[in-house]
């Protein structure tokens, strides 16, 4: 009798044991995050089919193979703060980075003890890499007093008696000696100290130093000032040390080649990989290679968007050829909306609207500043060709990856991150009820369901327009996506409710369930006089 019972139990439990063993044997998915720079919601064809004129076949194909989110947001309408949030799962405005971006040769924006998606992946046996634009600061071995040695003399190229008027700036012997000293040393505080095994990129492509950085060292020693022909006109925006014959056009192709090479090598290794690929494009410098010049028939920015799309295609092709595509979760998004200074009015006259149906652009608290393309492809898990209209924040990556990996996050980690896994599996219930994004000047845009509250007049950034006499704004995006009807005066109770929500999110130090946490610094309250735009 006892033998019969054991036999029966074995027959019944055997299949379950086999299923659990099979689940345990499943390899962890590779994680690939492709992060475009200054790409507008309407710059991607599948997001703007009627008023988008720039072909983006590779991004569109990725969307057709996965899930396209239509209400995805960055933490900020500018660069560095958004990068902080996507890497840490925490709003940037809880730190000193409440307005603007990390400055030239700025200090690290991510605290040394703060967990990132790289840290999370490494703790779970992943090989991690960052390739592209960092723009979150380093511990540069430069004092404030030495900064003048990185700049052009006030007289250089003007009426300096030592050279004819208009001649390019030439570094002095003292400057060259200093540059050799600085750029021959390790640079602490960068990606390899924030969760990534390796790094390759230009840090900030339109700012010095004009060279590639690998791990914690520059590749070569800058020995001249960047040429005058590369300054202004939506190319480089600041003068500074450069490698001899540095070519802005080479940056994007090199990043694509490096990413493809990393993937090809990573699949030969036993551990899964996480690749964070923050591209430098289509942000300035607008420097398409010859092959893409004039291809769009619109302007240089549109040409560069097409080249960016082709670079993404190159990386995805490398993933496909590696044989790892079926076990790779690919996420594509952008750090903020399209920049207003790349010829938007001319593009709109030709029928291309970089923000699609949204109001505003990069820098603004309006939707065009921080609602961005957000696409996830994960074969066997995410339904191909699906579309999700639920609210999400890029800070949600940390909690999503944690759930994918079956890992519990500590209470003081990813305070503003919720898992998107229910949505990726096809669910259509909200995973978050609220979200906060800010303008370049720090003015928050607070979401609660379809309601949006901006505690300030106008765009809060660089955008023009808006009734400056009304100190706050309230919109219902469910029927006013273009933010044309300010309901604040007509609905004071709703304004009070939204203001209280923002205060709660600030004072609790988190927007997710759990023990209250401390913000790094005192969080500025609005409405107030906006900070000066950088």
Q: Alpha carbon 393 to chain centroid distance?
A: 11
- Asked whether residue 160 carries a pLDDT value surpassing 60, the answer given is no
- Residue 163, both tokens: 């050279």
Res 528: pLDDT:
84
Digit-coded pLDDT (tens) for 210-231: 999 999 999 999 999 999 999 9
Q: What angle do CA 235, 241, 246 make, to 5 degrees?
A: 55
Altogether, the residues listed in the chain come to a count of 534
With CA atoms as reference, report the closest residue to 442 among 94, 90, 84, 86. 94
* Coil, helix or strand at residue 169: coil
Tokens (6 digits) for 474: 């309230």
Which class for 529: exposed (0-12), middle (13-18), buried (19 or more C-beta within 10 A)? exposed
**Is it the case that residue 128 has pLDDT exceeding 60?**
yes
Under DSSP, the state recorded for 8 is H
Local structure of residue 231 (DSSP, 8 states): B
d(CA 54, CA 56): 6
Q: Out of 158-162, 203-207, 418-422, 525-529, pick the least confident.
A: 158-162
Residue 24 pLDDT greater than 60, yes or no: no
Per the listing, tokens 């709003």 go with 91
Nearest alpha carbon to residue 315 among 76, 534, 84, 59? 59
Least Cα distance to 125 among 23, 259, 30, 214 occurs for: 30
* Burial group, residue 53, by CB count within 10 angstroms (0-12, 13-18, 19+): middle
Q: Which residues pair with 330 in a beta bridge?
A: 32, 377
* Average pLDDT of the residues in 137-157: 84
Distance in angstroms (rounded) separating the CA atoms of residues 520 and 169: 41
On the question of pLDDT at 337 being above 60, the answer is yes
CATH number, domain 21-99+110-141+185-210+246-507:
3.40.720.10
Question: Over the stretch 33-86, which tens digit does the pLDDT of each residue have?
Answer: 999 999 999 999 999 999 999 999 999 999 999 999 999 999 999 999 999 999
**Tens digits of residue pLDDT in 92-111:** 999 999 999 999 999 999 99
User: Model confidence over 378-410: pLDDT tens digits?
Assistant: 999 999 999 999 999 999 999 999 999 999 999
11 pLDDT exceeds 70?
A: no
Task: Please report which residue ranges of 137-234 form alpha helices under DSSP H.
Answer: 173-183
Q: What are the boundaries of each domain within the chain?
A: 21-99+110-141+185-210+246-507
How far is the C-alpha of 422 from the C-alpha of 420, rounded, in Å?
A: 6
Bridge-based pairing state of the strands 374-377 and 328-334? antiparallel
Average pLDDT over residues 294-303: 98
d(CA 29, CA 414): 21
């Amino acid at each position: 009798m006892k033998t019969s019972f054991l036999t029966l139990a074995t027959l019944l439990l055997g299949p379950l044991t086999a299923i659990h063993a099979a689940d345990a044997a499943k390899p962890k998915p590779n994680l690939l995050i492709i992060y475009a720079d200054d790409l507008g919601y309407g710059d991607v064809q599948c997001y703007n089919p009627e008023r988008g004129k720039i072909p983006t076949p590779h991004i569109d194909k990725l969307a057709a193979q996965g899930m396209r989110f239509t209400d995805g947001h960055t933490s900020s309408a500018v660069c560095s703060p958004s990068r902080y949030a996507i890497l840490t799962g925490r709003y940037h405005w809880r730190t000193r980075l409440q307005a603007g971006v990390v400055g030239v040769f700025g200090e690290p924006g991510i605290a040394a003890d703060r967990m990132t998606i790289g840290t999370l992946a490494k703790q779970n046996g992943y090989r991690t890499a960052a390739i592209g634009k960092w723009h979150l600061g380093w511990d540069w071995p430069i004092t404030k007093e030495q900064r003048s040695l990185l700049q052009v003399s006030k007289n250089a190229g003007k009426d300096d008696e030592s050279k004819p008027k208009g001649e390019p700036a030439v570094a002095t012997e003292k400057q060259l000696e200093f540059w050799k000293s600085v750029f021959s040393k390790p640079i602490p505080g960068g990606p390899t100290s924030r969760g990534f095994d390796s790094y390759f990129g230009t840090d900030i492509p339109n700012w010095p130093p004009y060279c590639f950085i690998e791990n914690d060292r520059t590749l070569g020693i800058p020995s001249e000032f960047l040429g005058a022909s590369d300054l202004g006109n939506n190319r480089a925006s600041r003068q500074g040390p450069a490698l001899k014959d540095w070519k802005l056009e080479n940056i994007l192709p090199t990043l694509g080649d490096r990413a493809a090479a990393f993937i090809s090598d990573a699949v030969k290794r036993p551990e899964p990989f996480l690749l964070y690929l923050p591209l430098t494009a289509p942000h300035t410098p607008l420097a398409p290679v010859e092959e893409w010049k004039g291809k769009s028939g619109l302007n240089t920015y549109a040409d560069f968007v097409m080249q960016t799309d082709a670079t993404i295609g190159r990386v995805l092709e490398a993933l496909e050829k590696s044989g790892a595509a079926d076990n790779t979760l690919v996420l594509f998004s952008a750090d903020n909306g399209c920049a207003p200074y790349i010829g938007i009015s001319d593009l709109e006259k030709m029928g291309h609207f970089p923000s699609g149906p949204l109001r505003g652009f990069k820098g603004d608290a309006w939707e065009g500043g921080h609602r961005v393309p957000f696409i996830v492809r994960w074969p066997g898990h995410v339904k191909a060709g699906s579309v999700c209209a639920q609210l999400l924040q890029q800070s949600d990556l940390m909690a999503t990856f944690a759930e994918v990996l079956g890992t519990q996050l500590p209470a003081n980690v990813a305070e503003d991150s919720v898992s998107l896994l229910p949505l990726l599996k096809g669910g259509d219930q909200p995973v978050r009820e609220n979200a906060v994004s800010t303008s370049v000047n720090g003015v928050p845009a607070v979401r609660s369901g379809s309601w949006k509250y901006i505690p300030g007049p106008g765009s809060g950034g660089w955008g023009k327009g808006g009734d400056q006499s009304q100190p706050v704004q309230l919109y219902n995006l469910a029927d006013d996506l273009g933010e044309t009807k300010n309901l604040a005066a007509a609905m004071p109770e709703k304004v009070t409710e939204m203001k209280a929500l923002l205060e709660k999110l600030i004072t609790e130090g988190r927007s997710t369930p759990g023990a209250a946490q401390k913000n790094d610094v005192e969080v500025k309250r609005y409405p107030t006089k906006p900070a000066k735009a950088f």
